[in-house]
Structure 1
Amino acid sequence: MSNILDEVFHVIDVETTGLDPQKDKIVEIAVTRIHNGESRVSYSQKINPGITVPPEASAVHHLTDRDLVHSPSIESVQEALLSLLSEGTLVAHNAPFDRSFLSFLGDRAWICSMRLAKHLWPSAPGYGNQVLRYYLGLLDIQGFSTPHRSTDDTLVTAEIFLRELDSCYAIDIRDVPSLISFCDSPVTIDVMPFGKHKGVPLKNLPSDYVSWVMKNVSDLDPDLRWSLENRLSR
């Protein structure tokens, strides 16, 4: 019977012109394939977005219109990507973001390595790609050059994800459906992240304040809502 240490995973990263998939476009995409505990870059491509790259986006990934003018459109590489990713499980760090720009991949399950990290390492100082890299002591990543380029980010995420697979296996999460279920389950939040009680442990919050937040904050983070509900039920 196969287990998560033997499965194929595709770590994906996109760089974009901005954060809104309704109006922003991909400028670079890369895929690093994981199988049997080893990773290798399987795809890396600059993409012509068909729109001007804003300077604030270039300041992150350092890609400009000049770098992309002769690159293919995302539509012209979709077939190759669909073929490459036809088998295996998709992974990304902050997966909802990458997934929102790759709707042509269809309604497939994704694993978010950032969310897994929140489950596995609640005491980590942060959950960004580079923070976790140094937190886990991943100092020598073969092929890594600079952050916020798609290939480099997939290499870092792949190493983080390999650590996550080992940690999940150690707590008896042995197959992909169980891994996805664990990843998607609510993340426990212990400290109030905003408001007049910011920084206060949830267990010390007044019950009337918890009830007020749950009733009046319409865009409450689902994990925080779940944690506050648990606080009220105690």
Structure 2
Amino acid sequence: MNLNLKNPIVFLDLETTGVDPSKDRIVEISLVKVMPDGSREVKTRRLNPEMHIPEEASAIHHIYDEDVADCPPFRAVAKSLWAYIEGCDFGGYNSNKFDIPVLVEEFLRAGLDVDLRKSRFIDVQNIFHKMEQRTLVAAYKFYCDKDLTEAHSAEADTLATYEVLLAQLDRYPELKNDVDFLAEFSARGRSVDYAGRIVYDEKGVEVFGFGKHRGRSVAEVFRTEPSYYSWMMNGDFPLYTKKVITAIRLREFGNK
């Protein structure tokens, strides 16, 4: 089976220094770009995170400081990478919650204000959890009857994720072979920012998805408690989240 595509779709997996999009950096990125005609190409490269790779992270992906000492930093490949993925849709395993937010943060740090608002995001993990409740290794065995012997290798994980999605489409007739449908089905709520700090409520209003103001309108909180905006801007939040709340605040100023 081939995916029914209008645009190329890029499946991605990142190995990083940790799990915090606002702090951690990419040490390896693997992309599987699938074209509407079903052809695909794989690109994998390691990157120098310009920081120490914590031992607990290296224990998972087996990439150490010395392995990336001579590799380029993300900022050196940012423009060519964006040229390669611009206009594509995206897929991954837990990618909506982790890989996409981390990637966007890296672009912003490199000075590229990338726009993914027209892209669709298919999170294969969310489809899997809605259907079966498993991990990627188990998903690969369950759907493809193969053992994922190189788990936590970015390229192996990325290729496995793509195969799992194709197998999911074969197994579940209720899943439409359509990127818009799969993106909506695999979404968990509607996030305004990629990290899920700001989400849309049922009326399409931006509300906080965390903390003491969870569920409250962002614009309303900033009107009644301006210091909360300052706290977020000075806090350890992702750059894209800060961009989103600034846009909301400026919009409210313009409506006065």
With normalisation by structure 2, the TM-score equals: 0.62
Pick one of 135, 145, 159 that aligns with 2:142: 135
Shift of 1:54: 0.8
Divergent runs of 4+, >3 A: 35-41, 105-109, 165-168
- Letter of the aligned partner of 2:137 in structure 1? Q
Q: One-letter code of the match for 2:184?
A: S
Matches within 5 A, 1:127-166: 128-139=135-146, 146-166=150-170
Alignment of 1:18-167 (within 5 A): 18-35=18-35, 38=38, 40-95=40-95, 96-103=97-104, 104=107, 105-108=114-117, 109-119=120-130, 121-122=131-132, 124=133, 126=134, 128-139=135-146, 146-167=150-171
Counterpart of 1:171 in structure 2 is 174
Contact 1:37–1:162 (CA<8 Å) still a contact in 2?
no
Rounded to whole Å, the distance in 1 between the matches of 2:174 and 2:116 is 29
Inter-partner Cα distance in structure 2 for 1:16 and 1:32: 18
User: Closer, same or farther in 2 for the Cα pair 1:25/1:172, shift >3 Å?
Assistant: closer
| Aligned positions, number | 180
In structure 1, distance between residues paired with 2:129 and 2:14? 22
CA distance in 2, matches of 1:44, 1:172: 30
Q: CA RMSD in A?
A: 2.8
Q: Deviation of residue 184 (structure 1)?
A: 2.0
C-alpha separation in 1, matches of 2:61 and 2:81: 22
TM-score w.r.t. the length of structure 1 is 0.67
- Which consecutive unaligned segments of at least 5 residues does structure 2 have? 108-113, 190-210, 213-256
Q: Is the 8 A contact 1:39 1:158 kept in 2?
A: no
Does the aligned pair in 2 maintain the 1:61–1:148 contact within 8 Å? yes
Task: Give the distance between the partners of 1:71 and 1:82, measured in 2 at CA.
Answer: 18
> Structure 1 residue 13 and structure 2 residue 20: aligned?
no
